[in-house]
């Protein structure tokens, strides 16, 4: 991995525990960090974000090597991992903090994100109107340390075993067959 040419992308697709775990398995991803973006409060806590009153979304900030994994491939994974037609929710996780959102840094990245949404729509993977927001990136606040790698540390926690685990298994099967995962 060429640490001099790394890029970052930040997006939200529901609970960050699953999204972060999956992205950390991909070849070309140096790190996926759970955190918060899009709100009006500096240094928000998980408890504050969960109220829905800070305006933040649960997000994952991914640092990756574009020579090893493309922006388009990352977007394909993003749209695989969550339902972009559910407004302010993913399954039973309800609230604006679970919204589908892509944070872009400049007009070129905004155009690539808009194109990725169209590609996903054309794939037919999800039926319904896409509600994924395209929002100018402002700040990223890392989540508390106990959220980082949460699924790996807590696979038997009820939410993890019932919701996150099955989603990760589906992800591993699909992207493993494509040869996109790191060796375990």
Do the strands 57-64 and 89-90 form a parallel or antiparallel pair, or are they unpaired? unpaired
Q: Is the pLDDT of residue 184 over 80?
A: no
Q: Of these residues, 15, 18, 22, 160, which one is catalytic?
A: 15
CATH of domain 7-178: 3.30.1060.10
pLDDT category of residue 38 using cuts at 50, 70 and 90:
very high
Summarised one tens digit per residue, pLDDT across range 69-126 is 999 999 999 999 999 999 999 988 999 999 999 999 999 999 999 999 999 999 999 9
Summarised one tens digit per residue, pLDDT across range 125-138 is 999 999 999 999 99
Annotated active-site residue 15? The verdict is: yes
Summarised one tens digit per residue, pLDDT across range 153-181 is 999 999 999 999 999 999 999 999 999 99
Cβ atoms < 10 Å from Cβ of 90: 23
Question: Domain spans of the chain?
Answer: 7-178
Q: Is the pLDDT of residue 3 over 90?
A: no
Q: What is the 3-state secondary structure (H, E, C) of 58-99?
A: EEEEEEECCCCCCHHHHHHHHHHHCCCCCCCEECCEECHHHC
pTM: 0.95
Enter the DSSP assignment of 92. T
């Amino acid at each position: 991995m060429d640490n001099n040419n790394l890029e970052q992308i930040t997006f939200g697709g529901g609970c960050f525990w699953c999204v972060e775990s999956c992205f950390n398995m991909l070849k070309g991803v140096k790190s996926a960090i759970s955190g918060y973006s899009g709100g009006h409060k500096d240094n928000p806590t998980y408890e504050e974000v969960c109220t829905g009153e800070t305006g933040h979304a649960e997000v994952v900030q991914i640092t990756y090597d574009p020579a090893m994994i493309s922006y388009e491939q990352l977007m394909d994974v993003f749209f695989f991992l969550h339902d972009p037609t559910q407004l302010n929710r993913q399954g039973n996780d309800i609230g604006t903090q679970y919204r589908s959102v892509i944070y872009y840094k400049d007009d070129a990245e905004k155009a690539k994100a808009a194109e990725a949404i169209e590609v996903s729509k054309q794939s037919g993977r999800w039926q319904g109107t896409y509600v994924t927001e395209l929002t100018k990136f402002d700040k990223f606040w890392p989540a508390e340390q106990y959220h980082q790698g949460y699924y790996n540390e807590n696979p038997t926690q009820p939410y993890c075993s019932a919701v996150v685990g099955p989603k990760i298994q589906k992800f591993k099967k699909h992207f493993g067959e494509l040869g996109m995962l790191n060796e375990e």
